[in-house]
Each structure stands twice: as C-alpha cells, then as structure tokens.
Amino acid sequence: MKNLYCGVWSFQNPTSGICAFALRGGKWERLGVYGTEIPAQSILAIGGDTLLAVSERRDGGAVVRYRLGENGEPAVIGKLDFDTPLMSYVSLSPDGRYAFTSSMGSPRVKMIRLEDDGSMRLADEWLLTGHSVTDRQRSAKSHSVQVSPDGRLLAVANFGADELELFAIDREHERLRLLLSVAADIAIRPDGAFLYASNRSQNNIAVWRVLPGGLLDSVGWYDCGGEGPRGIAVSPDGGTLFCANNDSGAVAVLPLNPATGAPGRPVRTLEVPAAACVRVR
C-alpha cells in the first residue's frame, strides 16, 4: 500500500476533483486535488496504473479515466459523457479492459471498453426493471455494481426493486447477459455440496457448488421444466429437485447429477394449478 484516493460528493455543496495521498515514512502526505475541472467525482475504481471515477451529477454524468504517475499523481487521459443522471458507482474488471457503472437516477447499467490509447466507448447497456414499497423505489435504480474476482460475473444492486441482479460478462460479443434476477427460492442439497436458486425472470435453475469456507462456484443455469419457477426442494437423498412452476401450473421432477449437481430434463410433471411452494420429506 502506497497511495490513497478519495472521491468527494455533496448535494448541498458543489465539489470537484479527487484527493490523493501518498504513504511516506509511515505517514500519509497529501499530494493534492486532481481533476478539479470535473465536478462530483464521487465513486472510484482502481487497477494497476488506472484510476476511474464517476461524475455523479443530476443533469447527466461521466466516467473519468486517470493514469497514475510514478508517485501516484492522477492525470486525466479520458472522459466519456452520458445523459444518465446520478451515476453512482464504477467497477473495473480485473484485467482493466472494461468498466461497469450504475446510476441512482436511472435503471441503466453500462459496460464500457477501455482502449489502449486512453479513450473509452460504450459497449453495452442494460435497463433494470421492477419497483418496491417506498417513494424512492417507484422504479428500478442501479445503485452499485461489482465484478467478480475472475472477471466473469457482474453483480448489480437494484435499489428500486430490492433485488440483486447477476450478469454474465460476455467478452467475445461485449454484452451483458442476465443470469439471475427475480430469485424466488433457494435450496441446498442435503450433503451441503450444491446450492440451487429458482430464477423466475429466466425460467431456469441456477446452480452453485459450495466450496470449503462457504464460497460459491457457479456450475451453470438449467431449464426448470416449465415457466415461472417459484418454490424448489431437493429430495432427502439428494438425487431429485422438485420445482413448482407457477405459470405452467405444474411441479417438474428433475433428476440431479450426483457429480455436478446439475438438473436434467424432467422425468415427470405433476399438474398443480398455480403451483407456488414445494416441500418433501
């Protein structure tokens, strides 16, 4: 650790620039304030010699790209403006090739390519949906974003809908692919080896392997055997997953692969109008 950077933001008092500090002789020394011509640079992301900031303005925001000097001084090398209000978060992929932003003033999630010459371009954009119970939650709002350590997944906090959205990052096509949004139920195989979630928005079952220490490793997403999956349950022997498909009006009986935990195609469908919850013993 040798440098500290602090973004600043306030509705009451106009702010601008990024404060930079250096650790010298065990003490933090202020290097200065940089990018003062750009207001409301609130949230930062850092990787290697790249520092990113979002300009969180009511009338439209921006992503600002800095290159860090030998002593850590930031120098602006690129700026990408948007009409998106209150851009509230930025996250950088582990390889520094892509940035992802959210906005408390809109449902927009952006995927931005960082070019070698310092420029940036919008690669993809996703509009979240949904709402919740308070006045501030009348529509979807993408409060924050976070890239997984391996750079494969993007988690988005949808403040407006009280939901966590999970996207796959498709680098080949430079797209975001929604994997998990309206998760209705979760189940764990009796031996604790696999975790399952019903994904209503995509009509599938998400599967994770449970690693030592409680970490999760994604196995994949599998057809739920119907539409509108809600309640799910795993049989006591861990060999079968039952899925209540609400829109289909049926319970799908799905065999589970003992090694991978993956559900197969339904071996039986039990007709239950408006099926919502399923439990087994």
- Please return the burial class of 62, using the count of CB atoms within 10 Å of its CB with bins 0-12, 13-18 and 19+: buried
Distances (CA, A) of 272 to 222, 249, 277: 22, 5, 10
Nearest Cα to 179, choosing from 148, 140, 149?
Answer: 148
- Alpha-carbon span 76 to 34, nearest angstrom: 8
CA distance 208 to 186: 11
- The structure tokens 């975001």 sit at 176
CA distance 120 to 188: 42
- The residues near 43 (Cβ < 8 Å, ≥ 6 apart) are 7, 53, 54, 56, 88, 89, 90
- In CATH terms, is domain 183-271 a member of 2.40.10.500? yes
pLDDT at position 146, please?
84
* pLDDT on residue 152: 85
Alpha-carbon span 23 to 72, nearest angstrom: 10
Work out the burial of residue 163: count CB atoms within 10 Å of its CB; fewer than 13 is exposed, 13-18 middle, 19 or more buried. buried
Q: What is the model's pLDDT at position 26?
A: 86
| Domain regions of the chain by residue span | 3-180, 183-271
DSSP code string of 217-250:
EEEEEEE-SSSSEEEEEE-TTSSEEEEEETTTTE
Q: In what order do the strands lie in the sheet with 41-47?
A: 41-47, 50-55, 62-68, 74-81
Q: How far apart are CA 245 and CA 200, in angstroms?
A: 9
Query: 3-180 and 183-271: same fold?
Result: no
Note the pTM of the prediction, 2 decimals.
0.69
What pLDDT score does 144 carry? 83
Q: What is the pLDDT of residue 97?
A: 96
pLDDT by residue for the chain (281 residues), tens only, comes to 688 888 877 666 667 888 889 888 888 888 988 988 888 887 888 888 999 999 888 788 899 999 999 889 999 999 999 998 888 889 999 999 999 999 888 889 999 999 999 999 999 999 988 776 678 778 888 888 888 888 888 888 887 776 778 888 999 999 998 876 656 677 889 888 998 888 877 789 989 898 886 677 889 889 999 998 888 889 989 999 999 898 898 899 999 999 999 999 999 898 888 887 788 86
CATH 3.50.30.50: does it fit domain 3-180? no
